[in-house]
Amino acid sequence: MGPEGEEQAVRPRIHVITLGVGDLERSLAFYRDGLGFPSSGIIGTEFTGSATEPSGATAMFTLDDGLVLSLYPRAELAKDAGVDPARVAGSGVAFGHTVGRREDVDRVLELARRAGGTVPGPPHERPWGLYAGHFGDPDGHLWEVVYFIPKAGLVDDPARATGQYVTQGSPS
């Protein structure tokens, strides 16, 4: 409860992002084998589901900051949420991935391309101080790989300004 007995608003945080995918094994291979995201593979296969109940097969990746990226078959996600399958198709968002060096943008885009992703065009500088490019995973989920140009006068990574960004391992 908040002040004076009022209910507290939802805390501003996200713990899990679930992507609806067309082929769970293909998507697992893209993220795990192609991009190097650690995963124990497909789990929950013992929950088979039915025409109306969703199955439990999913693949999960715990990212460096603790966020969980979950891959779930699109049709099962629609059943689980009780929505039309068309509602969980497509991508109206882009996930941002910041890197520590300009050349890492090119390297990550090439990794995504070799893993079966699409790179719609070459990375380029933006007038607001970024060097960035995009790739789509096998289901079209859009990612932006971003390097903040230090001389542009911006914080080199706005996520760090929140005080909640922790760098672990590789800068990319």
- Domains (range + CATH), the chain: 16-86 (3.10.180.10), 94-162 (3.10.180.10)
28 closest CA partner among 16, 17, 40, 11: 40
The values of phi and psi at residue 160, to 5°, are: -70, -25
For residue 44, count CB atoms less than 10 angstroms from its CB and return exposed for 0-12, middle for 13-18, buried for 19 or more. Answer: middle
Query: What pLDDT digit, counting tens, does each position of 71-105 carry?
Result: 999 999 999 999 988 888 766 788 999 999 999 99
Query: What pLDDT digit, counting tens, does each position of 118-144 carry?
Result: 999 999 999 889 999 999 999 999 999
pTM for this prediction:
0.81
In what helix (H) or strand (E) does residue 103 lie, and over which residues does it extend? Answer: helix 102-114
